[in-house]
Amino acid sequence: MRKFLIDTDTASDDAVAICMAFRHPDIEVVAVTVVAGNVPLDQAVQNALYTAELCGADVPTYAGASQPILRDLRTAQDVHGADGMGDIGLPLTGRVPADGWAPQVIIDTIRANPGEITLVAIGPLTNVAIALLMAPDIANKVERVVIMGGTGEHGPGNITPTAEFNFYVDPEAVRVVLRSGMPLEFVGWDVSIESAVVDDARQAQLRELGELGNFSIDIQATLQGFAWEETRLAGPDFPDPIAMAHAIDPSPATMEHLGVDIAIGPEPMHGTLIVDHYGFSQLEKNVNIVTHYPEDSFFGMLVDLLSDADAS
């Protein structure tokens, strides 16, 4: 069993990604840590706990940072709904997280399993950065670090013309992670809009799968409108699930090992991922950037894992 630790700001696409990991027969999710981002922290915790309950997963879930390292929190409730799950009336209150603080849990989990943990970060990187600032040694004790964030190969951004939401929310945390020495793999929003758009045909395919398939579409109710009106896609896209697909099986991916930094100054470049494709700035190569993940590989995995039949 491979050991995953998932760090999430749980909203509609995060929940689908978490389901994928919970359902995979060869993955043990050892912990879920939660950060503020798409929604405030308390709501993100409730969404994570609801998703685990729906999947029948007995996995400890821990609350972490309620705001970015140096900035006020900006949420994406206009994209995912006030509750982050499409505002469809799910019972997203009353559940209690495990005792413990997410950054410390990240440290303790990696130290207790040296060389064995795949850290999958699908929200702002605040929890991960705090953990690294507290315990820099964990950078060399983790097996893989798969991060959904930025736009690695080409634009656009999904919150500004050039910035992706997770990195925009806490760019200082991104810089800490980039300079940590962790074995980083970035799956950007550009990969999602190329290969993970859930158009009408894909939605119908997922709805045929049963409870989790319907859940994965129902909670996109607010995102569906955002896709039609703002990003002009054929349906909601799944950035966090395609990042999870890469964490589960990187073999279909095309990657480049490149020097990467983050813009932390004022608008308009705030939160923009800087990828040195041609070596102009002589940045040290620090990230494996996923430039392509095949659509068929992604949706094939998603269908297998969300099916009412046993995942295989």
pLDDT tens for residues 259-282? 999 999 888 899 999 999 998 988
For the chain, give the percent of residues with pLDDT over 70: 99
How large is the average pLDDT for residues 121-149? 98
Identify whether 311 is part of a domain. Answer: no
Q: Higher confidence at residue 300 or residue 154?
A: 300
pLDDT score of 7 more than 50: yes
Identify whether 72 is part of a domain. Answer: yes
Tens of pLDDT, residues 288-302: 999 999 999 999 999
Tens of pLDDT, residues 189-216: 999 999 999 999 999 999 999 999 999 9
pLDDT band at 228 (very low <50, low <70, confident <90, very high): confident
Q: Which of 149, 210, 198 is nearest to 175 (CA)?
A: 149
Sign of CA dihedral 73, 81, 165, 213: positive
Domain assignment of residue 267, given as a range: 2-306
Query: Based on the structure, what is the number of domains in the chain?
Result: 1
| The amino acid at 63 | A
Q: Dig out the tokens for 196 from the structure.
A: 């993970």
pLDDT of residue 304: 98
Three-state SS at 294? coil
pLDDT score of 45 more than 50: yes
CB 226 within 8 A of CB 11: no
pLDDT of residue 120: 99
Backbone angles phi, psi at 180, to 5 degrees: -85, -25
Identify whether 236 is part of a domain. Answer: yes
Q: Which of 248, 233, 241 is nearest to 215 (CA)?
A: 241
Strand ranges of the sheet holding 254-262, from the earlier edge strand across to the other edge: 61-63, 27-34, 2-8, 117-121, 144-148, 184-187, 285-292, 254-262, 273-276
pLDDT score of 135 more than 90: yes
| The amino acid at 104 | Q
CB 14 within 8 A of CB 123: yes
pLDDT of residue 267: 85
3-state DSSP helix/strand/coil % of the chain, to nearest 5: 40, 20, 40
Tens of pLDDT, residues 95-117: 999 999 999 999 999 999 999 99
How large is the average pLDDT for residues 224-242? 92
Who contacts 114 (Cβ-Cβ below 8 Å, separation ≥6)?
141
Identify whether 107 is part of a domain. Answer: yes
pLDDT of residue 310: 54
Identify whether 249 is part of a domain. Answer: yes
**List 9, 13, 190, 240, catalytic entry:** 9
The separation between CA 261 and the C-alpha centre of its own chain, rounded to angstroms, equals 19
pLDDT score of 303 more than 80: yes
Q: Is 87 a catalytic residue?
A: no
pLDDT of residue 312: 41
Identify whether 230 is part of a domain. Answer: yes
Identify whether 12 is part of a domain. Answer: yes
CB 32 within 8 A of CB 244: no
CATH of residue 78's domain is 3.90.245.10
| Cis status, amide bond into 156, omega within 30 of 0 | yes
Identify whether 312 is part of a domain. Answer: no
pLDDT score of 154 more than 80: no
